[in-house]
Amino acid sequence: QVHLVESGGGLVQPGGSLRLSCSYSGNIATIEKMNWYRWAPGNQHEVVATITSGGATTYADSVKGRFAISRDNAKNTMNLQMNSLKPEDTAIYYCNAYRGAIYGESWGRGTQVTVSS
């Protein structure tokens, strides 16, 4: 089992920045990659950013150049630095750990990000 806890959400004005963190614990050796997802009412669940166990990163087109995902293995923390935030970035952001076909996935409870003036 892997336990995930998100933090760092909140209210920010358009153009502002926020940093989300995801602390993970448990059987973390089984994690193949970690993701940030987001969900906004009326929209589909969207994968925002991914980081593999080897450190490779990918981003949704909607956040490229604005968001940066990172992972600190010494602190068992994954981060999402979000800059130049837009109202359409408003959503609940979820931390996800993909552990392969055998172990499945683990999810955090989510953290609300609201971008509004």
Task: Quote the pLDDT of residue 44.
Answer: 82
Q: Give the CA count within 13 Å in the CB-facing half-sphere of 29.
A: 0
Residue type, 97: A
Q: Give the CA count within 13 Å in the CB-facing half-sphere of 79.
A: 11
Strand order in the sheet with 2-7: 2-7, 18-26, 77-82, 67-72
Residue in this structure with the two tokens 């909607």, named with its chain if needed: 62
**pLDDT of the chain, 117 residues: tens digit per residue:** 899 999 999 999 999 999 999 999 998 888 999 999 999 988 888 999 999 999 999 999 999 999 999 999 899 999 999 999 999 999 999 999 999 998 899 999 999 999 999
Task: Quote the pLDDT of residue 36.
Answer: 98
Report d(CA 79, CA 110) in Å as an integer.
Answer: 13
